[in-house]
């Protein structure tokens, strides 16, 4: 019993003081994007642009925080919301988010998250499900290399 306790303590200390877990980062990021609706639109992507490929919805709104708008780096956040129609009446559930943070080490250099409208985390971390497509773009930032699709698809 004593042995178990002694073994357990350092483990507890590690998790308590070590790098934040994916869950903690996802929760932190959800708070940081509170009010994203009033953030600036990403350059070249006015609200409710036609998506290049429709993955995140036929119409998308991409917004950036001040760090991303100022050239990126630690703390940069990009939020993307998908819609089924050009007026934004039919929103797809949740948002997808990219966050550049020194608190998280990843191959892509970003922390990725997909949330439901209620903040539930569908995906987070550095998942292939996100990086697979984005890896073809410089620094995984697809919006910088694509432009909104044309209306007559």
CB of 10 to ligand HEC, least distance (A): 35
Choices 7-15, 28-36, 100-108, 138-146; region in contact with ligand HEC by CB under 6 A: 138-146
Query: Rounded to the nearest 5°, which phi and psi values hold at 83?
Result: -135, 160
Question: Considering only residues 69-98, where is the footprint of ligand HEC by CB under 6 A?
Answer: 78, 80, 96-98
Does 51 interact with ligand HEC (rule: CB under 6 A)?
Answer: yes
Which residue, chain included where needed, has tokens 């550095």? 126
Distances (CA, A) of 52 to 19, 45, 46, 115: 36, 11, 13, 21
Task: Tell me which residue of 99, 92, 61 sits closest to 78, measured CA to CA.
Answer: 99
Selected binder of ligand HEC within 62, 81, 83, 115 (CB under 6 A): 62
- The interface region with ligand HEC, picked from 6-14, 16-24, 48-56, 83-91 by CB under 6 A, is 48-56
């Amino acid at each position: 019993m004593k042995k178990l306790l002694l073994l357990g303590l350092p483990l507890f200390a590690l998790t308590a003081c070590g790098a934040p877990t994916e869950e903690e980062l996802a929760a932190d990021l959800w708070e940081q994007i509170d009010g994203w609706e009033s953030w600036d639109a990403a350059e070249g992507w006015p609200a409710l642009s036609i998506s290049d490929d429709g993955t995140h919805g036929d119409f998308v709104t991409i917004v950036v925080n001040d760090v991303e708008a100022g050239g990126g780096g630690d703390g940069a956040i990009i939020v993307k919301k998908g819609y089924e129609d050009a007026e934004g009446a039919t929103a797809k559930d949740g948002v997808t988010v990219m966050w550049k943070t020194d608190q998280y080490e990843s191959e892509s250099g970003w922390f990725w998250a997909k949330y439901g409208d209620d903040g539930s985390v569908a995906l987070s971390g550095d998942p292939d499900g996100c990086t697979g497509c984005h890896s073809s773009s410089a620094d995984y930032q697809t919006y910088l290399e694509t432009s909104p699709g044309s209306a007559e698809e």
